[in-house]
A and B are shown apart, each in its own frame.
Chain A
Amino acid sequence: MVDQRTIELIHAEIDGELDAQGLAELEQRLQVSARARELQLELRKISQALDRMSAVPVPAGLRQRVLDSGTAHPLKLRARRPRGRRLALALAAGIVFAAVTFVLLETPSSALRTGQLAATMVPPAQGVPAPALIERRLSGPTLDGVVALHPSGGNWQLSFDLRSAEPVIVTLAYDATLVRLNARGQAESGAGIFTVAPGSIGFVSIGSQHRVFEIEGDRGGALQVRLEASGQVLQDLQLDIPDGVGEP
């Protein structure tokens, strides 16, 4: 059995935290205890093995992913906002920023249950799209574009063509107790990055962006779309997706 003081001295020595007096004391204690010497060797071995563990390289694109995911808001404006407003914005932005963000992976359509509203990020539609059931034009000093709902191959396609001078947070909200949104897919180049929380899907649009969601399922539902930039709500839209998706 090794006494507590000796154990502490051994750990401190391993961490390089012992002064000359401490080292001398440890030496004395080690001389009279074979078990203490054994413990020192074991702990040193473990410590050296830990110290030899490699640093893990940072994944390519992580930095850009962080920068693209919402850090482009001007901090100065944020800092000047009243507290109540900041809290409200934090709640709204929380959907986008505080929830679990992930790159949505492609899943087979068969995994989507009927009877649910499912949204899927898909590659840009090829060819001429069918006439839109809903088309909302956005126009403003910092943002313009079109949000449209088209029938496509028995499903709905919800497209966002946005051009903005600053990063725009786009949040799609719905009642999670009534409808369920699943999402998968790819954007034009590589995987699309979304932020997902129950009842909400969000993304950040920067510059000129084209994003398409595919919606499928028997049940429709209301989608609330909010576009925000620099803490200001640019536009609120309500899109009523009819039951019988794909059959306008």
Chain B
Amino acid sequence: MSTPVQPFVPATVYMTEDSDAAMVAQCRAGDRRAFERLLARYERQIFNVAYRMLHHREDAIDVTQTVFLKVYEHLDRYDPAQRFFSWIYRIAVNESVDALNGRQRTISALDEEAVAADHERPDEAAEQRQLDAGMQSALMAIKVEYRTLIVLKHLQECSYEEIASILECPVKTVKSRLFTARQALRDLLASRGWA
């Protein structure tokens, strides 16, 4: 059996994605498109951190905007030895906490509209909305430091080490606080007849 002759040598295509460090370096060299790529990469995560911390869509938008402006403004202070991921998350957490502290109004209604509705069946979507609303309401009722841990671990799927890097504390402290946070959430949900 003869080997088929290829009319040309197929090109090898490598789909490479710039590392955060490379994009930050490009930003610092004045490449605005690199910043746009960083924004595209992180806007979803940062908006979700802010939204879950604040449970308010407009405030989360404001915080996300402030986070990226701060990143842009302070890129010259960013230490490449640390992960960009940890740095931007830290800014997001701090800005969210600041926004919570500066809140003048009372959030009277759950901001349910923002929750994604990618369910095919209406009953599934309704169930998901109910779950989201219940858990978000519980999150808002526990201490903000506990909420931070829960958001980073369960909603952002960060490891203990990543959370420790974001919050600049030892892994042991992260574990201990996370356990306490889950206990607090459990106690609260139990009091609401959920758990």
Give A contacts to B, CB under 8 Å: 7-8, 11-12, 14-15, 17, 42-43, 45-47, 49-59, 62-63, 65-67, 69-79, 90, 93, 97-98, 100-102
Contact = CB atoms under 8 A, between A and B. Distances in A.
**Interface SS of B by simple majority:** helix
Contacts of B128: 52, 54
Nearest to A51: B154
Given A76-B29, A76-B30, A79-B28, 11 more contacts: A8-B175, A46-B185, A50-B150, A56-B51, A58-B43, A62-B65, A63-B36, A71-B32, A74-B32, A75-B27, A75-B76
**Interface SS of A by simple majority:** helix
A71 B64 contact: no
Interface string B76-107: 10000000000000000000000000100000
A54 to B, nearest CB: 4
Contact of A7 (B28, B102, B134, B179): B179
A101 B65 contact: yes
Contact of B48 (A7, A12, A56, A100): A56
Given A51-B154, A67-B39, A71-B32, A101 B66 contact: yes
A58 B40 CA distance: 11
A42 B58 CA distance: 34
B54 to A, nearest CB: 11
Contacts of B75: 75, 79
Interface string B32-62: 1001100110011001100110000110111
B62 A69 contact: no
A63 B52 CA distance: 19
A63 B36 CA distance: 8
B166 interface: no
A65 B61 CA distance: 9
A69 B62 CA distance: 11
B29 to A, nearest CB: 6
B186 to A, nearest CB: 6
Given A71-B72, A78-B76, A50 B115 contact: no
B97 to A, nearest CB: 15
Q: State the 3 A-B residue pairs at the shortest beta-carbon distance, nearest first.
A: A76-B30, A50-B154, A54-B116
10 contacts: A7-B179, A53-B136, A56-B60, A56-B114, A65-B61, A66-B68, A75-B27, A75-B29, A97-B69, A98-B69
Nearest to A10: B179
A224 B153 CA distance: 48
A166 to B, nearest CB: 11
Given A11-B175, A54-B132, A66-B69, A75 B64 contact: no
Contacts of B70: 98
Contacts of B13: none
Contacts of A93: 73
A56 B40 CA distance: 15
A54 B195 contact: no
B30 A46 contact: no
A72 B32 contact: yes
Contacts of B40: 63
B110 interface: no
B44 A58 contact: yes
B116 A11 contact: no
B189 interface: yes
A11 to B, nearest CB: 4
Contacts of B155: 50, 53, 55
Contact of A56 (B30, B47, B66, B153): B47
Contacts of B134: 49
Contacts of A59: 47, 57, 61
Contact of B69 (A11, A47, A71, A77): A71
Given A7-B179, A46-B186, A53 B64 contact: no
B178 interface: yes
Contacts of B52: 53, 56
